[in-house]
Amino acid sequence: MTKINSGPLKNPKNVYLTVEGLADSKAELEYLKKIKSPAIVERIHQAREYGDLAENSEYDAAVEEQALAENRITELESILKCAKVIADQHNQDFVVIGSTVKIEMDGEIDEFKIVGRVEADPSKKRISNESPLGSVLLGAKKGEEVEVTTPIVRYKCKVLEIK
């Protein structure tokens, strides 16, 4: 299951999600609302019955968990409200959000999918379209060499394949 990242949205009007990411977000929201939140409320209720709330670690933990769950619900609702779903079928002539790209850069051969920021997870081969590498690759064609620059790092990156 894709974990949709937390954190403030830079541009809430453009939240790109894959079809899978959209389904996972909806499933997570439903789970939080229908299963997790009621369970936390029940735990808080039980913890209250243990008495003295000042030294009640069960109560504190449950309240903290409730705050986290509520934040996550707000976040997911905001993401789903602004979500633009990336088509599964796309042009393979040039890189778009949703493309899987094979590149060569600094002696590395790497392959990853370009996704919206909220779905990005480089450890799972999903790179944000807003990252220096993701943004410069958008629009690039197979065989094209693009330059990725930041104030410190500057690399040439060759597109080997677009899927």
**Is 57 among the residues that bind other proteins (CB under 8 A)?**
no
Closest distance of CB 4 from other proteins, Å: 16
Name the phi and psi angles at 148, rounded to 5. -105, 125
**Cβ atoms of 133 and 121 closer than 8 Å:** no
Applying CB under 8 A, which part among 19-27, 47-55, 79-87, 116-124 lies near other proteins? Answer: 116-124
**Cβ atoms of 157 and 142 closer than 8 Å:** no
Out of 23, 80, 105, 138, which residue is the one contacting other proteins (CB under 8 A)? 105
CA 48, CA 59: separation in Å to the nearest integer? 7
Closest distance of CB 77 from other proteins, Å: 24
Applying CB under 8 A, which part among 7-15, 19-27, 43-51, 107-115 lies near other proteins? Answer: 107-115
Binding mask 118-157 for other proteins (x = CB under 8 A): --x-xxxx-xx-xxxxx-------------x-xxxxxx--
Applying CB under 8 A, which part among 26-34, 46-54, 85-93, 106-114 lies near other proteins? Answer: 106-114
CA 66, CA 55: separation in Å to the nearest integer? 18
The runs of H, that is alpha helices, within the chain are 19-31, 37-49, 57-82, 132-137
Amino acid at 24: D
**Cβ atoms of 85 and 154 closer than 8 Å:** no
**Is 7 among the residues that bind other proteins (CB under 8 A)?**
no
Q: Which is closer to other proteins, CB of 29 or CB of 113?
A: 113
Helix axes 57-82, 19-31, angle to 10 degrees: 140
**Is 65 among the residues that bind other proteins (CB under 8 A)?**
no
In the complex, which residues of this chain contact other proteins (CB under 8 A)?
105-110, 120, 122-125, 127-128, 130-134, 148, 150-155
